[in-house]
Structure 1
């Protein structure tokens, strides 16, 4: 198609006239072309004549553009005529030409309407089409649609839903004790949420809080330390160069009938134990939970399973212990990494050490080098029953260093996710009599990563409105009201990779907290970020299963997802790897994928005991571990339907509940069970799908590694 200017009575331009060419070009703002003059790309075409090359004898046709409304922008086009006259046509040809003109005008009108009115909606739907496009046109269409979406504003056709629409009034309180507890928790939680939305609650002034002081040093006597529950509070944590000095005396060994650090031999009734635990704890990290052990230092004078005196060091986050470092009397190998130039373990005299290797070494040194080896002193185990000791812990560049009675005993490296500034408490437990304790060289200002400053109110982390069509995957993330740091870490790590996607949606599911100020902060967070769904019941561990039902309800009703994934706020998710595993199963099949447990039995004793009233069966059904699993939408719809009809059986362990519901669904429609250990339950493994028990700092560390193409862990496992 080419543009032919037309001559009018007001202008006498000629294409071959050099004097008029420049005026013509300046008037029409055209640029030279090999076959004539071509309009610049950015100019919208007003009223003009359009020529079409036809296969018939008629070479050129002049078709008026059907939108004269644009002629006011380019009045010069109304004065343009063709440089040459077309040939005279007979009646049949004229009729044919007129028909072609009408068809061409209709085609141009159709293209105009499609491009300017339908294309934005079409581009949105392209990204929501086939979840697994083929290698051909699907990929091209998807990339083209994404380009248009990035250049055009997204229409907020559906708002986010900040409150779960799950109807708890249908809970059958006569079916079980858990149902009755859930109904009461819903009643209390609903009242808390209503009070939260009252204007006076949102605008109430907080009491004046004085800024907590950061002392340079703290000293407590043994009596003062005991009066404080054997806990020293360090308001602003530790910093590089901080040190803690302890003067104490271990108690004599005593019999234990249920020892924790060894097992009783057959016929033994008790074992003699003497040990103590020196711990740095993160008291301000999370309210209402066991604080993380940033450093666990455990000398075992007697009672260890090895029958030898040892020193064990470790870290713990949410009751999940890391890999222990044990010093058993042997010095660390020369090729092993050091901590600030110091070995992890020093040598001490052992009862089974015949020193034969050392004698051989000395003999070869004397024979080959001709001089004696440097004289060394053999030290006993640094702690003894009923004997006073002075222990000093110092914070170095690479880790903690512990000296006892003036000599270095052990060093422990810093671990990712456990940092000095979070060490706001020091506790001592076990068989030890504390004389005094002193902490010095402490920071005099609050750390930058204080819990009260965990949320970053930046539009970068805000969620997009819900898409106007179905999505491939909905991710429900279980969280507690006071887990502000965990949610922020998820937003800034793996959730950032799906925030702009139209195929994936992720939301946090949070219940009401017992403290009003926590709920107020939660409401502000939910209003700002738009990625929190509040489930209106008073939160407790036994009722976490209600959040899982709420995730299923949201996934099938609010977003119409093809698959629903459930995970925790301390779970790191490699979404593309998870979806690659999911897509291996045909879309027509029902799916249940995760780290599946088979033939597990309920514990009848201990902290996690399950009574026969709660679970009368001897075995659990096959179930995927709770930190991360995926179900197809038909399973989720079945769960919601059973709940709404008051037929859904609830159990306090949400992952077992899901396994129970899937087993029931499997009786009517076959379910594809997919097991993979890469949905890691205890921590992290390389090439993971999901990694559990990850602290906020570990989340950010793993995200940095994943963006660099290395799906590696950021802990010592």
Structure 2
């Protein structure tokens, strides 16, 4: 029986004409056409010329003349539709990887568009032969994402004359739902689209009932593959309920795991855990990986215990000490299960009780989720996804001017400090909270301190469209020429150094995250009190630490990646500051291909600073500040990490009202 697929998706329909015209400016696309490489040029002419022609649709006699002059520079392609993305992806596989990287980075001159100012300057980074293997893969993905975005903008420009976009249309909805009862036990599956991924506190709730005492059913959070990719999409979370047990246990069990085409199934986690397992000693966001009330350890002694009372739950596991047996799922019994995204992992509750937690695996994070897939012995009543990432409509904002980034200082004038903020594409709400809170400090609004978000492209076309509109509206986003990927965050640190030395000049440089609240005035005053303008690292300094060799950890480091038993001194990543001379050293060493890359960005910066001291024969000042909090918030903080958007606004209100640095936990 063929699988029936039910999809919930919001179609992308509109984008402001101003953004389209700005995006497909003549300078941008002419530069695209001049990229070296015959294979690329042939590919570009096919899709770039229609985009430019659509953008140049004349609105007056003078603009018509300009359009005519520009069109003469672009050879008209043979009448043919834009290539299918699958064909485009196939074409790029014939291009040398290095040529592809250089082509994309070289395609945009810094003067063309502020959000892409780093692309030209980033070329020495992406051309390195010792670049992370993941960077090359994600560079190819970024090329595909870039083409999809251009294709969408072309289609939007072509249809703008015949259709007026509604201001109520949302590319990234706050919630999606599916309300058709379906019996999956007879075969088939339900696939519900998650248009723009998940963020902190996003939740997916399904109501249903198991439809077989010996059966099982699965809840999969599935990632996304680009059109034309042959590899199956990754499974970010596999939550498998086995009521009849399996080969390892005759009793009911929940198995959680991840899957990718490259690594196949990873190490599974079971609830309840097997005998002698340390799994149940670990927690995620303070919650047990397997709630203790979910049965007992599956051991021969317990399995044969005659004192265990019979269970009214088919397949349930009885607990020790005569406690009432409990398993969250049972044949024919309705349940409401919620999967929600925490800071460090996914959590599952059933009927209001915490059941399992699953730590995010390396490079498989909630923003990558593109759909929920349900299959197996399940009667599904309804499904709803809530708290999804959605951007604010700039057309309806009353305080847009107050939220726009102030202009950068003229050439030759240095900033007091430059703050680079790590963010990912669909974290719209976090960036807005930062704009409405600590980016309102007078030091920032006056232009003495500049703040920019550093964001990679997203595999999701809808996210890229919303991200582009946001970048144009606020002027504070720097898009990077690769797909956001945890192992590539060190490249963002490099990008901050490049921006702070090549695009602006800044006495101090700060790196922080979009979930960190920064008391800008106090942080800047604290740095100035050091009386150091060179060879300075300021933050919460870790002076004696070693690599994590636990392969199950998100921060697992192999001997090949870091052979030494200890790390050099480094500052915790939620917020640290370094002097301009260190930023210059990092950029220069990278241009010379002599900068060692390491995937933990804060440790990498520590290693670069140690190398700076050795090469330049400088005594580095490591200034540690206990009020640079790497976890949560404490009254008196200078920076507070793990703050959600509501807490960000609350912290700012405390400061505005004169209450001081009080937390909002």
**Short-chain TM bin:** 0.5 to 0.7
Residues 214 and 496 (structure 1 numbering): CA distance in 2 closer, same or farther, change over 3 Å? same
Tell me how far 1:226 sits from its aligned partner: 7.1
Partners of 1:163 and 1:536 within 8 A in 2: no
Match of 1:470 in 2: 414
Provide the residue aligned with 2:578 in structure 1. Answer: 631
- 1:571 maps to 2:533: no
Larger Rg: 1
For residue 160 of structure 1, report the CA deviation from its aligned partner: 6.3
Aligned pairs (5 A) from 1:207-606: 217-223=179-185, 227-228=189-190, 244=207, 246-247=209-210, 274-276=252-254, 321-322=285-286, 351-352=320-321, 380-383=324-327, 388=331, 390-393=333-336, 434-439=377-382, 451=390, 453=392, 457=397, 458-468=400-410, 469-498=413-442, 499-597=444-542, 598-603=544-549, 605-606=551-552
623-632 vs 637-646, which moves further? 637-646
Partner of 2:223: none
Q: How much does 1:697 deviate?
A: 3.7
Cα distance in 1, alignment partners of residues 148 and 505 from structure 2: 28
Could you list the runs of 5+ residues in structure 1 that have no partner in the other structure?
1-158, 254-269, 279-297, 315-319, 330-348, 354-378, 413-422
- 3-state SS in 1 of match to 2:588: helix
Residue by residue over 1:54-79, the C-alpha shift from the partner in whole angstroms, topping out at 9 and shown as x without a partner, is xxxxxxxxxxxxxxxxxxxxxxxxxx
Q: What per-residue deviation string (whole Å, max 9, x for no partner) do you get for residues 559-589 of structure 1?
A: 3222110112232223234234323312345
CA distance in 2, matches of 1:514, 1:384: 35
Gaps of 5+ in 2: 1-112, 217-247, 257-268, 294-317, 339-346, 356-368
Which residue of the partner structure matches residue 139 of structure 2? 185
Answer yes or no: is the 8 Å Cα contact 2:142–2:457 preserved in 1. Answer: no
Secondary structure of the 2:445 match is: coil
Q: Over residues 498-541 of structure 1, what are the superposed CA-to-partner deviations in whole Å (9 max), with x where a residue is unaligned? A: 54133321011223344555444433322221112233345443
Q: What is the CA distance between 1:658 and its match in structure 2?
A: 0.6
CA RMSD across the alignment: 5.7
TM value normalised by structure 1: 0.50
* Residues 233 and 424, structure 1, Cα contact 8 Å, conserved in 2: yes
CA distance 1:304–1:672, shift in 2 (3 Å): farther
Contact 2:539 2:623 in 1 (8 A): yes
- 1:326 & 1:172 partners in 2: Cα distance? 42
TM-score, length of structure 2 as denominator length: 0.53
> Residue 511 of structure 2 contacts residue 577 of structure 2 at CA under 8 Å; is this kept in 1?
yes
Q: Distance in 1 between matches of 2:179 and 2:152?
A: 45
Q: Say if 1:610 and 1:323 are closer, same or farther in 2 by CA, change over 3 A.
A: closer
* C-alpha separation in 1, matches of 2:580 and 2:209: 58
Match of 1:259 in 2: none
| Number of residue pairs the alignment of both structures matches | 449
- The separation in 2 between residues aligned to 1:707 and 1:567, in whole angstroms, is 22
2:641 aligned residue? 692
Partner SS state of residue 574, structure 2: strand
In the alignment, the residues of structure 2 paired with residue 475 and residue 553 of structure 1 have an alpha-carbon distance, to the nearest angstrom, of: 12
Cα distance in 1 for partners of 2:348, 2:612 equals 56
> Which residue of structure 2 lines up, in the alignment, with residue 658 of structure 1?
605
Tell me, what secondary structure is at the counterpart of 2:608? helix
User: What is the SS of the residue equivalent to 1:565?
Assistant: strand
Q: Give 1:179 deviation, angstroms.
A: 8.5
- 3-state SS in 1 of match to 2:450: strand
Moved more, 511-520 or 622-631: 511-520
- Relative to structure 1, the CA distance from residue 184 to residue 552 in structure 2 (aligned partners, 3 Å threshold; closer, same or farther) is same
